[in-house]
């Protein structure tokens, strides 16, 4: 299987590189707020005010063009492992406290911000600075963000390789898990075990790709939702999966007397996603690895540990230039 996956990926990358052409400017793109933005020339000074877009810029080979970064960059392991120079870049703050003046002072050609900073985008554009607003809340929107930033920054060939890798793993997972039973999975959030992701969130896509069913799939009108113990017991999931950055542990959940009758607790099926490099349960470019890891956890006979480990190493060696298993 491993050899076949490598061949599929190589063929996909070869095909994509044959059809990709160098970006010409000016280029007009529509960002994820529905705004048309015209980029007059290839951006040479980039600012990312969002950790997801920063991670993508590294994968696209654009980290050398970055002149500013979101707050708390030093707390992101992926930067230390793949592009440690980013940690010392000037901070432009966070979505809660964005530094407009500091960002403008960096004289960027292109600024990438999360959707919630729409007002900041308008102010920067009034100063003649191009801004893209992104909103990668699910797999489709994540792919759209890759295409958007790549088109604006002239990195479409690199973005195609990322998309090819993800598509190859989605196909491999579908094939390996075609006949597997689909256990119900409850994804518990960072701050609270009773916070979970509804069907509109990326996390639901991750569970589906891994051969599971989101226990909270009936929640379709919201994103993260606080539920009750009664609701969790009514769902009675086969697995409880903790977010990678959870402020509590699997042992805390297993010892919670309110969950003593929950099937996942009874069977010891409480696990936490890794956080060694990135939070794969968030819509980062490497998010497909969350599905790869979870598929092994849910279906080890159909999707082996060896296959899982090899794919994770292949991804980070290809796009981030370090070996995950050695860190």
* pLDDT-derived band at 202, boundaries 50, 70, 90: confident
pLDDT at 221: 73
pLDDT at 17: 47
Say how far apart CA 313 and CA 327 lie, in whole Å. 11
Average pLDDT over residues 146-166: 97
Say how far apart CA 111 and CA 48 lie, in whole Å. 6
Residue 261, pLDDT above cutoff 70: yes
Q: Facing residues of 195 across strands?
A: 226
pLDDT at 220: 80
Q: What SS3 state is found at 176?
A: helix
Say how far apart CA 123 and CA 295 lie, in whole Å. 44
Higher pLDDT pick, 301 / 16 = 301
Joined tokens for residue 296: 């092994």
Average pLDDT over residues 208-224: 90
Residue 249, pLDDT above cutoff 90: yes
Say how far apart CA 265 and CA 263 lie, in whole Å. 5
Residue 21, pLDDT above cutoff 90: no
Express each pLDDT in 176-191 by its tens digit.
Answer: 999 999 999 999 999 9
Tell me the HSE value of 307 on the side-chain side, using a 13 A CA sphere: 23
pLDDT at 291: 97
DSSP codes joined into one string, 204-244: HHHHHHTT-EETTTT--S-SEEE--HHHHHHH--SEEEE-T
**How far, CA to CA in Å, does 296 sit from each of 72, 114, 240, 290?**
32, 32, 15, 10
* pLDDT-derived band at 138, boundaries 50, 70, 90: confident
Higher pLDDT pick, 219 / 312 = 312
pLDDT at 227: 96
Of 191, 199, 228, nearest to 216 (Cα)?
199
Residue 77, pLDDT above cutoff 60: yes
Average pLDDT over residues 19-40: 88
Residue 11, pLDDT above cutoff 60: no
Residue 2, pLDDT above cutoff 50: no
pLDDT at 257: 98
Cβ(29)–Cβ(148) under 8 Å? yes
pLDDT at 5: 53
Joined tokens for residue 20: 């990709």
Compute the Cα dihedral for 194, 195, 201, 203 and give only its sign: negative
Residue 13, pLDDT above cutoff 90: no
Classify residue 98 by its DSSP letter.
Answer: B
Joined tokens for residue 219: 């929640």
Say how far apart CA 48 and CA 83 lie, in whole Å. 14
**How far, CA to CA in Å, does 196 sit from each of 77, 214, 215, 219, 231?**
24, 10, 9, 10, 11
Angle subtended by helix axes 156-176 and 202-209, to nearest 10: 50
Q: Provide the mean pLDDT of the chain.
A: 93
Residue 37, pLDDT above cutoff 80: yes
| In the block, residue with structure tokens 């933005």 | 37
* pLDDT-derived band at 10, boundaries 50, 70, 90: low
pLDDT at 19: 45
Residue 62, pLDDT above cutoff 90: yes
């Amino acid at each position: 299987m491993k050899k076949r996956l490598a061949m599929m990926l190589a063929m996909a990358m070869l095909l994509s590189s044959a059809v990709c052409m160098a970006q010409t400017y000016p280029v007009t793109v529509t960002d994820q707020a529905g705004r048309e933005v015209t980029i007059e020339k290839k951006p040479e000074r980039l600012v990312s005010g969002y950790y997801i877009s920063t991670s993508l810029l590294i994968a696209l080979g654009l980290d050398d063009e970055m002149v500013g970064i979101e707050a708390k960059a030093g707390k992101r392991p992926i930067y230390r492992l793949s592009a440690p120079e980013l940690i010392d870049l000037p901070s432009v703050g966070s979505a809660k406290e964005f530094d407009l003046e500091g960002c403008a002072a960096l004289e960027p050609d292109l600024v990438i911000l999360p959707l919630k900073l729409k007002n900041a985008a308008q102010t920067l554009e009034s100063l003649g600075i191009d801004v893209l607003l992104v909103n990668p809340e699910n797999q489709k929107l994540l792919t759209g963000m890759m295409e958007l930033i790549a088109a604006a920054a002239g990195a479409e060939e690199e973005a195609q390789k990322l998309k090819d890798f993800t598509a190859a793993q989605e196909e491999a997972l579908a094939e390996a898990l075609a006949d597997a039973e689909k256990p119900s999975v409850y994804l518990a959030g960072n701050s609270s075990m009773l916070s979970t992701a509804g069907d509109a969130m990326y996390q639901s896509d991750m569970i589906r790709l891994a051969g599971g069913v989101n226990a909270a799939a009936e929640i379709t009108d919201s994103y993260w939702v606080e539920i009750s113990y009664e609701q969790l017991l009514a769902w009675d999931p086969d697995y409880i999966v903790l977010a990678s950055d959870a402020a509590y542990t699997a042992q805390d959940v297993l010892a919670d007397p309110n969950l003593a009758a929950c099937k996942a607790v009874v069977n010891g099926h409480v696990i936490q996603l890794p956080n060694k490099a990135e939070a794969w349960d968030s819509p980062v470019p490497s998010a497909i690895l969350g599905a790869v890891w979870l598929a092994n956890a849910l279906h080890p006979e159909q999707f082996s540990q060896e296959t899982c480990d090899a794919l994770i190493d292949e991804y980070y060696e290809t796009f981030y230039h370090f070996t995950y298993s050695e860190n």
